Structures are given as structure tokens and as C-alpha cells.
């Protein structure tokens, strides 16, 4: 494995919680599922989780501590105070899911206490494991305990669900572009702000509350979060059913962990929002282990120690160094370009925005339809009057992928490229601007849903634009944007049937418009 | 030298000038807002004519005053997503096509009331229509219509295609808005000028429900407000 791994901090046992919540005084440690699995097949902590899921599955859906009810908190056709309250495409995405995991973990822990298959040490210290899929093979595969239809005892395995993406079910691995948090962690700002068509979602999502037309989602919510949802597929591919797949909770623990990884970064230091409209104004409702109503606000969950848990480690993955620092792309893309740039050139930080509105420079005339194949669309940005006054050269350039709708849950995420010259796989990365995970595209198309506005992604492509301009590769009259499906990597010794399974028909996804904004 | 330093030095500006500039940039729909404001001023100061055409003109003013404000976020979305040189055109096409249905339906309704001559029943019409509006707030159809108000369309960048998309979006938005707000506008249609206070309340409800992200959650509060208003009109006159 060539991807380096830097351990920023390691949580130690015995460090007391910073705040005593009374009921749960012990700080618990959420561990990497693949490390558990590699230490011991059907590790006691995994068996305990399977028991929790089995017990929760045996409860009626009306019981707030059943798996069906817990999944319905995330998404349900009927909404109430608790159900169908998941927060997507908003800056509440991370805190809401942290609360959601917290109460789910409590319910699991209570269920485990009643199982005779779990030893007392495991009962005392159990916490949800997380799935860090970004450490190369085999961590990018579903852990074996989630793929076996039966437990070692020959009972039905509660961690197994049918209907997942067949290649994932067969042991395929998610490619690095799906699992990597590199682009998300590189974001300096928690939120991309509100208003304006070229407002990115930042790291954690756009400011919402008085939103219209749908904002762009945060980068962590896009990749790896959404990309993993879509790639695992099946129940994981839809809001309403995602929580029914036991891997969902491990996936979200990893997203929760990555929030803390982001928070711990320095130069520049990162910070969570501190305004009242994020920290206190919005109250969320959940159910505790007895099914009673409990409420939390985002400001109360920024420190996991206040919730009596920590992660066993906070590794910063460097799976894709080429997208860690966007500016590194300039010498990668055009070796000669560096010398032509001012000494010490660095792409402006994302928060440096000129004091003028972002202007539409060009867009596609017709929608782009994705059906599982590579598709390209071209348009002109040769606008004669993007700005009223000089300078005519934009300080920031954005690529928007907008008005995305789908007939059903998309089968695969797509990688987006600008001015891709050929089909040479080895040079692809230099022209990539990121992924559109498409998670939630079907829900966003349903006029009855909570988010009927369609999906939108905003990519800051300033550095790529400048480098291409420099190298004469940006043709105003013909900007080409390519969408390539991101496929699961075949496991070793995979059969032809596996490749066939990968080619299953997928619901068509329609991208209403691809546009470039100058600012 | 960093990229930031390489940029031309920003002239020092006073804070509020900056905020004003930013506000100006972020709200291209300000022209339409001015039209709505002008309609309110006209309603406040113009005398009421009870002639047929006076009533029709009054209806158009009330329409501009009350139905442009909830449409401003959609107008903003369309204008921000249009090229600069065709921004005003896009906003006008959207606003015009979305008010078309309202203008026609209203003209017919107002004309009908005038022809039948319901002047004497003004109080009952006003109170009754407020109660109808209260009931409509609680129907699933109202909820669906409010969600439909938030749906957008891809906007091509140039030419006739862009114009057509603006009009199509306007007609669709206008239809959804009509389904959502017809009951709120019913008092205006049946009772002529019902007083600026009541109009402000009704506009407030319409704006809140369309601008707030999950505006349909305000429905029960709006229903209570409308019921109280309706009862007051019926009992107190
Ligand atoms: Cu999720």
C-alpha cells in the first residue's frame, strides 16, 4: 500500500470525560472494523453488534428502539417530530448524524446487555465500530462479517442484507476516488456560506433555513459519504432504507470521525460554526433507550468527549496526494507552467472571494443524461460581458452541476473532468475536478419529498482554469465536461459473471445543466 | 509574494458601504421588489373607485403588492442563473408569465362580483373567504402546492431557448403559486379593497410559507390566524 498514513493523535484509555453526564461515565472507544476483523474473525465486538441488530430487528416497527423505527428517523414517507428528520445538503448534516449515532449506539448497548452470546467485558466496553475504507485493499471492501448470509453458528446473519451492489456483495473494493476524504479535508471553511449560485458547500454543508432552489452539498457529504452510499447500493442507496443496512451505522461513524480529523488540522486551523443559528437555534428530537423523547442542539455535540466516546485514531489519509493541495495540480498537469507563474504562487484560499457577484459565463443548452457510460458535454464560455468593468479575467472560476434528477437510486457515482484530452487513463487525474456522488438524486426528484429542488454540486476550478489558460488548453468556445462512471474494483480471481454483474442496468440520471461561473 | 498580495490593493471602504454593495450584488431581484413596493404605496394613497374598471385596476395593484413578494426568491434564483446582459429580461419574463394566470382569473372573478352586485354582502364574503382560506391551509393539496413552488427548471444560457425556459418556469411556478394562494387572495377578489392591515397579514402568510425552507410547517399557525381574522370580520363587522 503506497498511501501514507499520519497518525495525528491517538486516544488513550483512562482519560476521563470532560463532562459527566451521569448515566454513562466511561469514555468508550470506537474502533476500526477492519482492525477488529483482522484481529479475530467474528471478533466479540462484531458479534455483539450482530446481536444488537438481531434484537432490534425482532421489535415491531412502532417501537422507537426497533431498527425499522431507527431507520425511519433518517427517512420515511410520513414525517413527524422524530421520523424523516435527516439533515442533508445543510450545515446540520454532521451534527445531526452525530446525535443520531449517539442515540442509536445507546439503544444497541442496552440491547446487547440482554444477550447471552456476549461476554461481560464486551458488554461493559462496547461502542460502535467504524468502517475506515480509505486504507486500501481490503479495507475498501465490505467486511466479511457483513457479507456472509450466515453466522458461524449457522443462524441467519443479522449483519447481512440482500440487494447490495452485486460486486460489493462479492467482495469488490471501492476505488480511492470514492473512499478518499482528501478533497473534503482540504477545505478550510466548515460552510461555503449562503446565497449565490456559485456558493460551494464547504466542508460541512451550506447554511440553510431560508434556502431556495437547493444549495450545493458539503464536500464530506459528497465524498466519501454519498459516494459510499451509492457504491454499496441496495438499501444504502436510498434515504428511507439506508439505516436498515447494518453497515450504514459504521459508515456514518467514519464520517463522524472524519469531522474530527478535519477539526484537528492546522495551517490553517479549522473551526466549527459558532453562531447561534448553528449552535443553539435548531433543536433536534431523538428517542432514548426507553423510547422517550430527547432533544439536542449542534453546539452540544462538537466535542465527542461530551458524549463519552472517542475514536481509536485520527489518521489523515493521503490516498490521493494529487488532490490534497489543488495547487499541486499545476506542475503535475503542465511541467513547464510552474516557471511562468509568479514566484511562490499559490492558488488563493477558498475564502478569498472578490467583491463582486459570480456571473454565468456559459452553460449547456440541453440536459446531460447518464446511463452508466462515459458522457461528455460541451459549451461555450465566450461570453462578451461576464463583468461590467475591468478586469475581465475572473479571479475565481466555478463549475456547477445542477438540477440533477433521477428516476430511481443512481447505480454509481461519476467522476467529473474538464477538457479531458483523450481516453488515456493515466492522465485522467490531472483533469478531474471531483465526484458527483448522486446520493439522494431520486429523493430530490420526488415532488412529495422534503428536498424537491434537485441536487446541485459546485466545484471551485480556479487553479485548473488558470493552469489551462497558461498552457493554452482553455478554449473559450469549447469547454468540455466529461462524466465517467466510477466502478467497483474487481476482487482477485473474479469471474466473468462478476464483470457482468457490474453491467446491470441503472436508472437514468438527468443533469439539467452544467455551467461555469466567473467571479 | 502570495496570490492575495498579488491582487490589486483593495481601496479602504467604510463598512456599511461594503455591506450595501454586497446586498446590491446578492439581490438582482431588487427591481421587482421596487415594483411591489410601488403597488403598496399606490394602494395606500389612491382613492378607491367602485366602477368596473376601477375595480379591475385595483385588483392588478393588489396582485402586484401581494403576489410579487413571495415570488422574489424564485426571481432571484432565475436572475442569478442568467447571464448578466439578459438578467432583467429573465426576471421580467418569469414574473410576467407567473402573474398571467392570476391576472386572468382575478379579472374574471372581480368582474363577476361586480356584475352580480354583491356589494351588500361584503362583510359575509370577506369573513367567509377568510374561513375558506383557513381550511385550505390544512389540506394536503396546499402542502403539495407549496412544495411545487420550490421546483426549478434547467435554464439554458442564451437566446430563445433561455426565454422559453424562463416562461415555462414562470407558468409552472404561477400555477403552483395559484394553487397554494388562491384562498388567500379570495378576500381581495370578493370584497375589493379589504384594508391594508388585513392585506399585510395575508401577504405575510404567503411570503413566510414560500420563503421559509419548510414553509408548510407554518400551516396550522396560519390557519389559526385566518380563523381569528374571519371571526372578527363576521362578528364585529
Ligand atoms: Cu448517510
Domain containing A240 — which CATH number? 1.10.1280.10
Among A293, A311, A329, residue at a domain's last position:
A311
Asked, for residue A80, whether it belongs to a domain, the answer is yes
pLDDT band at residue A22 under the 50/70/90 scheme: very low
Q: Give chain A's radius of gyration (CA, Å).
A: 23
Distance CA A28, CA B61 (A): 65
Residues A363 and A217 reside in one and the same domain? no
Asked, for residue A134, whether it belongs to a domain, the answer is yes
Among A264, A294, A311, residue at a domain's last position:
A311
pLDDT digits (tens, 9 = 90+) for A373-396: 899 999 998 865 666 555 567 888
pLDDT digits (tens, 9 = 90+) for B74-84: 999 999 999 98
- Using the beta-carbon criterion (under 8 Å), do A212 and B84 form an inter-chain contact? no
Asked, for residue A362, whether it belongs to a domain, the answer is yes
Asked, for residue A306, whether it belongs to a domain, the answer is yes
Distance CA A194, CA A174 (A): 33
Residues A298 and A173 reside in one and the same domain? yes
How far is C-alpha A488 from the geometric centre of its chain's CA atoms? 17
How far is C-alpha A140 from the geometric centre of its chain's CA atoms? 15
Which residue, among B106, B93, B87, has the nearest Cα to B30 in the 3D structure?
B87
| Burial class for A3, CB neighbours closer than 10 Å (0-12, 13-18, 19+) | middle
Averaged pLDDT for residues A274-302: 90
Tell me what the pLDDT averaged over chain B comes to. Answer: 83
For A255, the domain range is: 5-311
Domain count of the fold of chain B: 1
**Which residue shows C-alpha cell 445543466?**
A513
* Residues in chain A within 8 Å Cβ distance of B77: 197, 212-213
What is the reported pLDDT for B124?
A: 83
pLDDT band at residue A425 under the 50/70/90 scheme: low
Domain count of the fold of chain A: 2
Residues A260 and A409 reside in one and the same domain? no
pLDDT tops 60 at residue A13:
no
* Least confident among A4-8, A230-234, B145-149, B169-173: A4-8
pLDDT tops 80 at residue B36:
yes
pLDDT band at residue A49 under the 50/70/90 scheme: very high
Residues A375 and A266 reside in one and the same domain? no
What is the reported pLDDT for A105?
A: 97
Residues A268 and A398 reside in one and the same domain? no
Tell me what the pLDDT averaged over chain A comes to. Answer: 81
How many other β-carbons are positioned within 10 Å of the β-carbon of residue B47? Answer: 5
**More confident: B221 or B64:** B64
pLDDT digits (tens, 9 = 90+) for A200-247: 788 888 887 544 445 688 899 999 999 999 999 999 998 889 999 999
pLDDT tops 80 at residue B149:
yes
Distance CA A437, CA A453 (A): 17
pLDDT band at residue A297 under the 50/70/90 scheme: very high
Averaged pLDDT for residues B110-137: 82
Distance CA A87, CA A515 (A): 27
Of all residues in chain A, the percent with pLDDT exceeding 90 is 44
- Using the beta-carbon criterion (under 8 Å), do B3 and A515 form an inter-chain contact? no
Contact A108, A5 (CB under 8 A): no
pLDDT tops 50 at residue A409:
yes
Chain A and chain B share a number of CB contacts under 8 A equal to: 107
Asked, for residue A341, whether it belongs to a domain, the answer is no
The widest CA-to-CA distance across chain A, in whole angstroms, is 75
pLDDT tops 90 at residue B2:
no
What is the reported pLDDT for A490?
A: 79
Averaged pLDDT for residues A109-136: 93
pLDDT tops 60 at residue A457:
yes
**More confident: B215 or B185:** B185
What is the reported pLDDT for A182?
A: 82
pLDDT tops 50 at residue A332:
no
Q: Which helix (H) or strand (E) holds A417?
A: strand A414-418
* Least confident among A160-169, A290-299, A316-325, B200-209: A316-325
pLDDT band at residue A429 under the 50/70/90 scheme: low
pLDDT band at residue A317 under the 50/70/90 scheme: low
* Residues in chain A within 8 Å Cβ distance of B175: none
Closest by Cβ to B26, choosing from A196, A367, A386: A196
What is the reported pLDDT for A18?
A: 38
* Residues in chain A within 8 Å Cβ distance of B152: 213-214, 403, 453-454
For B18, the domain range is: 2-236
Which residue, among A184, A174, A177, A189, has the nearest Cα to A261 in the 3D structure?
A184
Of all residues in chain B, the percent with pLDDT exceeding 70 is 88
Q: What SS3 state is found at B30?
A: helix
3-state SS, one letter per residue, for A44-66: HHHHHHHHHHHHHHCCCCCCCCC
What is the reported pLDDT for A345?
A: 38
In the reported structure, the alpha carbon of residue A44 is separated from the centroid of ligand 1 by a whole-number distance in angstroms of 26
CATH of the domain at A433: 2.60.120
Name the pTM for this structure: 0.85
What is the reported pLDDT for B229?
A: 84
What is the reported pLDDT for A351?
A: 55
pLDDT tops 80 at residue A315:
no
What is the reported pLDDT for A497?
A: 64
In the reported structure, the alpha carbon of residue A253 is separated from the centroid of ligand 1 by a whole-number distance in angstroms of 10
Residues A386 and A293 reside in one and the same domain? no
Residues A251 and A397 reside in one and the same domain? no
Contact A314, A264 (CB under 8 A): yes
What is the reported pLDDT for B27?
A: 86
Question: Which chain B residue has its CA at the smallest distance from A358's CA?
Answer: B80
pLDDT band at residue A14 under the 50/70/90 scheme: very low
pLDDT tops 70 at residue A260:
yes
Question: Which chain A residue has its CA at the smallest distance from B141's CA?
Answer: A448
What is the reported pLDDT for A352?
A: 60
Which residue, among A329, A296, A493, has the nearest Cα to A419 in the 3D structure?
A329
pLDDT band at residue A4 under the 50/70/90 scheme: very low
Burial B16-32 (b: 16+ CB within 10 A, else e): eeeeeeeeeeebbbeeb
Among A264, A289, A311, residue at a domain's last position:
A311
* Residues in chain A within 8 Å Cβ distance of B148: 447, 452
What is the reported pLDDT for B219?
A: 79
What is the reported pLDDT for A110?
A: 96
Beta partners for A297?
A283
Distance CA A463, CA A398 (A): 10
Residues A137 and A64 reside in one and the same domain? yes
Q: Does the CB of B235 have a partner CB in chain A at under 8 Å?
A: no
Contact B162, B153 (CB under 8 A): no
pLDDT tops 70 at residue A195:
no
Distance CA B237, CA B232 (A): 7
What is the reported pLDDT for B106?
A: 85
What is the reported pLDDT for A141?
A: 95
Which residue, among A332, A321, A368, has the nearest Cα to A180 in the 3D structure?
A321
Residues A30 and A166 reside in one and the same domain? yes
pLDDT tops 70 at residue A6:
no
Averaged pLDDT for residues B183-189: 84
Residues A137 and A85 reside in one and the same domain? yes
Which residue, among B207, B7, B46, B204, has the nearest Cα to A356 in the 3D structure?
B7
Amino acid at each position: 500500500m503506497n498511501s501514507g498514513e499520519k497518525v495525528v493523535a491517538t486516544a488513550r484509555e483512562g482519560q476521563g470525560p470532560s463532562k459527566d453526564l451521569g448515566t454513562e461515565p466511561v469514555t468508550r472507544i470506537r474502533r476500526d472494523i477492519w482492525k477488529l476483523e483482522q484481529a479475530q474473525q467474528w471478533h466479540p465486538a462484531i458479534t455483539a453488534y450482530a446481536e444488537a441488530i438481531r434484537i432490534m430487528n425482532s421489535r415491531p416497527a412502532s417501537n422507537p428502539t426497533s431498527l425499522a423505527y431507527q431507520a425511519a428517523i433518517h427517512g420515511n414517507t410520513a414525517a413527524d417530530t422524530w421520523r424523516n428528520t435527516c439533515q442533508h445538503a445543510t450545515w446540520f448534516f454532521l451534527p445531526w448524524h452525530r446525535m443520531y449515532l449517539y442515540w442509536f449506539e445507546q439503544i444497541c448497548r442496552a440491547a446487547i446487555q440482554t444477550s447471552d452470546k456476549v461476554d461481560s467485558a464486551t458488554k461493559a466496553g462496547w461502542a460502535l465500530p467504524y468502517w475506515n475504507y480509505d486504507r486500501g485493499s481490503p479495507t475498501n471492501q465490505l467486511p466479511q462479517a457483513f457479507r456472509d448470509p450466515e453466522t458461524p453458528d449457522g443462524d441467519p446473519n443479522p449483519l447481512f442484507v440482500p440487494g447490495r451492489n452485486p460486486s460489493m456483495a462479492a467482495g469488490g473494493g471501492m476505488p480511492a476516488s470514492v473512499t478518499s476524504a482528501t478533497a473534503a479535508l482540504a477545505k478550510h471553511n466548515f460552510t461555503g456560506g449562503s446565497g449565490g449560485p456559485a456558493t460551494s458547500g464547504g466542508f460541512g454543508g451550506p447554511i440553510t433555513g431560508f434556502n431556495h432552489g437547493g444549495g450545493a452539498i458539503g464536500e464530506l457529504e459528497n465524498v466519501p459519504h454519498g459516494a459510499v452510499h451509492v457504491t454499496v447500493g441496495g438499501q444504502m442507496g436510498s434515504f428511507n432504507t439506508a439505516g436498515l443496512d447494518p453497515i450504514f451505522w459504521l459508515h456514518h461513524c467514519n464520517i463522524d470521525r472524519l469531522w474530527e480529523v478535519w477539526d484537528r488540522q492546522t495551517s490553517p486551523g479549522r473551526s466549527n460554526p459558532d453562531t447561534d443559528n448553528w449552535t443553539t437555534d435548531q433543536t433536534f428530537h431523538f428517542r432514548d433507550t426507553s423510547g422517550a423523547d430527547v432533544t439536542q442542539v449542534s453546539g452540544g455535540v462538537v466535542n465527542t468527549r461530551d458524549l463519552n466516546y472517542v475514536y481509536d485514531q485520527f489518521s489523515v489519509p493521503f490516498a490521493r496526494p494529487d488532490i490534497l493541495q489543488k495547487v499541486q495540480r499545476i506542475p503535475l498537469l503542465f511541467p513547464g507552467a510552474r516557471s511562468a507563474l509568479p514566484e511562490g504562487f499559490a492558488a488563493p484560499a477558498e475564502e478569498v472571494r472578490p467583491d463582486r457577484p459570480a456571473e454565468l459565463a456559459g452553460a449547456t443548452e440541453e440536459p446531460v443524461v447518464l446511463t452508466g457510460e462515459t458522457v461528455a458535454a460541451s459549451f461555450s464560455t465566450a461570453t462578451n460581458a461576464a463583468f461590467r468593468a475591468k478586469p475581465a479575467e475572473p479571479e475565481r472560476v466555478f463549475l456547477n452541476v445542477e438540477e440533477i434528477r433521477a428516476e430511481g437510486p443512481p447505480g454509481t457515482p461519476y467522476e467529473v473532468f474538464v477538457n479531458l484530452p483523450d481516453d488515456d487513463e493515466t492522465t485522467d487525474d490531472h483533469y478531474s475536478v471531483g465526484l458527483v456522488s448522486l446520493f439522494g438524486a431520486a429523493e430530490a426528484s420526488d415532488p412529495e419529498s422534503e428536498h424537491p429542488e434537485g441536487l446541485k454540486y459546485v466545484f471551485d476550478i480556479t487553479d485548473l482554469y488558470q493552469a489551462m489558460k497558461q498552457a493554452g488548453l482553455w478554449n473559450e468556445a469549447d469547454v468540455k465536461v466529461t462524466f465517467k462512471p466510477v466502478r467497483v474494483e474487481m476482487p482477485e480471481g473474479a469471474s466473468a459473471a462478476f464483470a457482468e454483474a457490474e453491467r446491470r442496468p441503472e436508472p437514468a440520471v438527468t443533469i439539467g445543466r452544467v455551467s461555469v461561473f466567473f467571479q | 509574494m502570495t496570490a492575495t498580495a498579488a491582487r490589486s490593493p483593495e481601496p479602504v471602504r467604510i463598512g456599511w458601504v461594503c455591506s450595501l454593495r454586497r446586498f446590491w450584488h446578492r439581490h438582482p431581484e431588487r427591481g421587482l421588489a421596487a415594483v411591489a413596493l410601488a403597488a403598496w404605496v399606490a394602494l395606500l394613497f389612491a382613492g378607491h373607485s367602485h366602477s368596473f374598471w376601477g375595480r379591475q385596476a385595483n385588483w392588478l395593484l393588489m396582485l402586484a403588492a401581494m403576489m410579487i413578494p413571495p415570488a422574489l426568491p424564485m426571481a432571484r434564483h432565475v436572475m442569478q442563473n442568467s447571464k448578466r446582459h439578459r438578467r432583467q429580461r429573465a426576471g421580467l419574463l418569469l414574473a410576467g408569465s407567473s402573474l398571467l394566470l392570476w391576472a386572468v382569473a382575478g379579472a374574471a372573478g372581480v368582474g363577476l362580483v361586480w356584475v352580480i352586485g354583491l356589494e351588500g354582502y361584503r362583510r359575509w364574503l370577506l369573513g367567509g373567504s377568510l374561513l375558506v382560506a383557513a381550511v385550505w391551509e390544512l389540506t394536503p393539496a396546499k402542502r403539495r402546492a407549496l412544495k411545487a413552488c420550490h421546483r426549478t427548471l434547467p435554464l439554458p444560457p442564451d437566446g430563445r431557448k433561455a426565454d422559453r425556459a424562463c416562461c415555462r418556469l414562470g407558468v409552472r411556478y404561477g400555477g403552483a403559486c395559484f394553487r397554494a394562494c388562491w384562498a388567500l387572495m379570495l378576500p381581495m377578489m370578493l370584497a375589493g379593497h379589504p384594508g391594508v392591515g388585513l392585506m399585510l397579514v395575508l401577504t405575510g402568510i404567503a411570503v413566510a410559507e414560500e420563503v421559509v425552507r419548510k414553509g408548510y410547517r407554518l400551516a396550522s399557525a396560519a390557519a389559526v390566524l385566518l380563523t381569528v381574522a374571519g371571526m372578527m370580520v363576521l362578528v364585529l363587522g
